[in-house]
Structure 1
Amino acid sequence: MGGIDKADGTEGFGGFEGADVIEESDDGIDLGAFGEEFRTDPHPVYARLRAEGPVHRVRPPDWQSTTWLVVGHAEARAALADPRLAKDGTKIGLETLDEQLIGKNLLVSDPPQHTRLRGLISRAFTMRRVEELRPRVQQITDDLLDAMLPHGRADLVESFAYPLPLTVICELLGVPEMDRAEFRKLSTETVAPSSPGSEYEAFVTLGTYFTDLIEDKRAAGPGGDLLSDLIRTTADDGDRLSGDELRGMAFILLIAGHETTVNLITSGVHALLTHPGQLDLLRADMNLVDDAVEEMLRYEGPVENATFRYAAEPLEIGGRRIAAGESVMIGLTAADRDAERYPDPGRFDIRRDHRGHVAFGHGIHYCLGAPLARLEARTAIRSLLERAPGLALDGPPGPWLPGMLMRGMRSLPVRW
């Protein structure tokens, strides 16, 4: 990596968004060289990258190899919908852990396979089904607040942001209550692993768990939960999901169904509590909660970078030539802080025009769990603010999740 020089001649990057030059060497930009500051707050680095161009070759922290990183908003939206960027790594000889150890899923498939899988799951996981969850989501929210509020202070992640979506998705999938604590630990290891070995073991254990769960549901007959319905869902031509595909679908529903929402609620509350003017604005008019959640998604989205895509053929993105077989990482967080799309992007403003953000992706891989995440976040934020009028930070947030996939805090101390 080339020199990094601030305007005052000192090293560092905080507070100089777009002002400094990051030179890209033949080996790419070593993002690990920015240290722990990059994990805590990557936005200044992404801003400086955008100032040099919308696409860069980078080496993520703790990686030996490089990948292309898209940081511009227009380029990200175009790349997310570009059929030349494949999600199925087997086309270039790669196989992800989830595909290898659990089964094929929407995140590692392309049309026509993706079209078939999404069509089958959409027959069971409908907007009507999500809307029917509204009373239950409110009840779970109220129960969690009933347990939390008498204590006067809590870790918002542990007491509220995590158990809400975890309970919802486990009930939706039909996961027994006794298994949910282990379920949580394993799912976190797959998206923010504490070590390479723990990630592998988590995938192995989840694969075995889903195999047993699916067999139990087959034997029990119709049960009313989503996984039972998926087992029996049949297309017009008689097509059904295979055992491997059912495991893959259960896995992706688990991840899309709760990991993102945990981060959305936590980061959203943190944004409000660190922007008191916006908090006052929302408290004065709770009808703004939908807009507030969309700004939370834009400002500090729960997924930092989309899962890898691979160039199925040579192509050009943002003036950079991508060779066939090269990997591409699309920066959702980076794109949503692009000043060319969102003026003063580092300002948290629940009244801004947030349309076009890519927090849930774009195109055929747009997040299947987005409607459920929005329902849960809106319910959680509104109920928390209504029932805890004195809500405030009770210390610094815990460490940010490792890796470059998820964007979220491990803990958020609050009081009221």
Structure 2
Amino acid sequence: MQNAAHTGSPDRPDPIDTTMLLDDPYAGYERLREAGPVHRITGPDGQPAWLVTRYADVRSGLADPRLSLDKRNSSTGYRGFSLPPALDANLLNMDPPDHTRVRRLVAKAFTPGRVDKLRAPVAKVAHDLLDAIEAKGRADLLADFAGPLPIIVICDLLGIPERDRLDFRAWSDALITPDPARPEAAKEAVGAMLRFYTGLIATKRAEPGDDLLSDLIAVRDEPDGEDGAGGVAGDRLSEDELTSLAFLILLAGYENTVHLIGNSILALLDHPELLAELRADPDQLPAAVEELARFDGPAPLAIRRFPLEDIEIGGVRIPAGESVLLSLAAANRDPERFPEPHKLDPHRDIFGHLALGHGIHYCLGAPLARMETQTALDAVIQRFPGLRLDVERDEMRWRRSIRARGLMSLPVAW
């Protein structure tokens, strides 16, 4: 058995600083991956964690049933965002059988066939957003396009009226990239989200519509949903699970897709030959989106996991209950799996990239995220043949987070 590098006792090396993963993440992950398969780091919440960096170990870990997502299996008291049960009883904090039951109930909304029926409506939204900025000749494509598009799509899917579409981006930012100057902002965002979702579900119960949230409420409210002991019988949802699902679908549907679209547009601007190739042959977009997701995906890390027993990963012993972070970003740039990993090449063998996860926790909304990104890129590429950055490349600012990989803004002109 080998031990993680760095000082400290052989079994408990001192955590390393993750600042380098904020300033230059891919270079930082490359150094860590070359130094060893597993490293003890200080996580984004200030708590120690074990960071796994190599493709084979990350892919195996994503599908390992010994690695639990349930925070109750943490031996260090990890509480994540400290969400109330009404927002925390979601798929990102569940193991089977609860995970299997809840995912089955919502998965039918995200099948490739159903998502494909949304392609035309999503294209209309994309072109409507571009119509609003085209005459200006310049825009922030994050604020004016990549940000609003996923919100509109997810809100339409859930049946959230336009008048009730609040500042979801502010809530997301407060949780994912907290402002050190306003530590109370995250707590305020949680309270606002809880009030919003509770009120929304009450409204939908009174006036159901033809939408996913109304369907989920109907499943929740079917007779004999309770097992008589306060639990849930059969294929049913508890009230907390219902509220948490609405929260997760909206937050995750926004967060990952907006950054995948933004990162992809910037990568194409950095590679004008590929941009021209896709403009000439849009049929290549599906393959290009897979490579763009591998190259610079929105989620550097998978959801934190907790070993149910002492385990070995990459020859490193990790005690039960300690935090394990599987680095999707490091795995997707591992040269052992993807030769010349820092090269953007949509013609490579992209099968098995981990940008959207792997195993039973594979991203539920992956078909929707793929379709939205393909549609968004096609609209921008075809509408703005003269698209270019409106600032110097080194002026682009990224969110300082190891949880999310996304731009602060995307100023362009055409």
Same fold (TM over 0.5): yes
Which residue, 316, 333, 350 being the options, matches 1:337? 333
Percentage identity across paired residues of the two chains: 48
The CA RMSD over aligned residues, in Å, is 2.0
Partner SS state of residue 135, structure 2: helix
Contact 1:157/1:262 (8 A) holds in 2? yes
1:61 deviation in Å? 5.5
User: In the alignment, which residue of structure 2 is the partner of 1:107?
Assistant: 92
Structure-1 separation of matches of 2:234 and 2:15? 50
Which amino acid is 1:227 matched to? L
Which residue, 212, 237, 241 being the options, matches 1:226? 212
Structure-1 separation of matches of 2:334 and 2:23? 19
Q: TM-score, normalised by structure 2?
A: 0.89
User: In the alignment, which residue of structure 2 is the partner of 1:308?
Assistant: 304
Whether 1:153 and 2:153 are equivalent positions in the alignment is no
The answer to which of 308-317 and 199-208 deviates more is: 199-208
Structure-2 separation of matches of 1:185 and 1:179? 15
Contact 1:261/1:376 (8 A) holds in 2? yes
Structure-2 separation of matches of 1:188 and 1:323? 32
Structure-2 separation of matches of 1:108 and 1:333? 21
Which residue, 339, 356, 366 being the options, matches 1:360? 356
User: In the alignment, which residue of structure 2 is the partner of 1:7?
Assistant: none
1:190 deviation in Å? 2.3
Q: Residue deviations 1:272-301, cap 9 Å, x none? A: 111122222222322111111111100000
Structure-1 separation of matches of 2:389 and 2:380? 14
Structure-2 separation of matches of 1:243 and 1:117? 12
Q: Residue deviations 1:320-353, cap 9 Å, x none? A: 1010111001111111000000001011112111
Which residue, 184, 198, 202 being the options, matches 1:197? 184
1:181 deviation in Å? 3.7
Whether 1:324 and 2:320 are equivalent positions in the alignment is yes
User: In the alignment, which residue of structure 1 is the partner of 2:404?
Assistant: 406
User: In the alignment, which residue of structure 2 is the partner of 1:14?
Assistant: none
Which residue, 15, 22, 32 being the options, matches 1:49? 32
User: In the alignment, which residue of structure 1 is the partner of 2:149?
Assistant: 164
Which amino acid is 1:377 matched to? T
Which amino acid is 1:179 matched to? D
Which amino acid is 2:212 matched to? L
User: In the alignment, which residue of structure 2 is the partner of 1:376?
Assistant: 372
Structure-1 separation of matches of 2:19 and 2:240? 40
1:186 deviation in Å? 1.2
Whether 1:174 and 2:156 are equivalent positions in the alignment is no
Q: TM-score, normalised by structure 1?
A: 0.89
1:101 deviation in Å? 5.5
Structure-2 separation of matches of 1:110 and 1:316? 20
1:24 deviation in Å? 1.6
Structure-2 separation of matches of 1:203 and 1:383? 35
Q: Residue deviations 1:206-257, cap 9 Å, x none? A: 112111110111111x301111111112699764212111111011101221
Structure-1 separation of matches of 2:15 and 2:342? 23
Aligned residues: 390
Structure-1 separation of matches of 2:60 and 2:216? 32
Q: Residue deviations 1:55-113, cap 9 Å, x none? A: 111113672x3100011011100000001110001123544423546240000000111
Q: How does 1:88-167 map to 2 (within 5 A)?
A: 88-92=70-74, 94-96=78-80, 97-98=82-83, 100=85, 102-167=87-152
Contact 1:193/1:402 (8 A) holds in 2? no
Partner SS state of residue 30, structure 1: coil
1:389 deviation in Å? 0.4
1:120 deviation in Å? 1.5
Whether 1:84 and 2:66 are equivalent positions in the alignment is yes
Which residue, 250, 257, 273 being the options, matches 1:261? 257
User: In the alignment, which residue of structure 1 is the partner of 2:230?
Assistant: none
> Aligned pair in 2 of structure 1 residues 357, 99: CA closer, same or farther (>3 Å)?
farther
Structure-2 separation of matches of 1:43 and 1:128? 35
1:135 deviation in Å? 1.4
Which amino acid is 1:178 matched to? R
The answer to which of 202-211 and 54-63 deviates more is: 54-63
Contact 2:86/2:241 (8 A) holds in 1? no
1:393 deviation in Å? 1.0
Which amino acid is 1:408 matched to? G
> Aligned pair in 2 of structure 1 residues 186, 415: CA closer, same or farther (>3 Å)?
same
1:373 deviation in Å? 0.5
Q: How does 1:24-63 map to 2 (within 5 A)?
A: 24-26=6-8, 27-34=13-20, 38-60=21-43, 63=46
Partner SS state of residue 167, structure 2: helix
1:118 deviation in Å? 0.7
Partner SS state of residue 82, structure 1: coil
Which amino acid is 2:150 matched to? P
Runs of 5+ unmatched residues, structure 1: 1-21
Structure-1 separation of matches of 2:249 and 2:347? 31
User: In the alignment, which residue of structure 1 is the partner of 2:53?
Assistant: 71
Contact 1:401/1:407 (8 A) holds in 2? yes
1:164 deviation in Å? 0.6
Structure-1 separation of matches of 2:360 and 2:107? 13
> Aligned pair in 2 of structure 1 residues 293, 125: CA closer, same or farther (>3 Å)?
closer
Contact 1:23/1:29 (8 A) holds in 2? no
Contact 1:40/1:399 (8 A) holds in 2? no
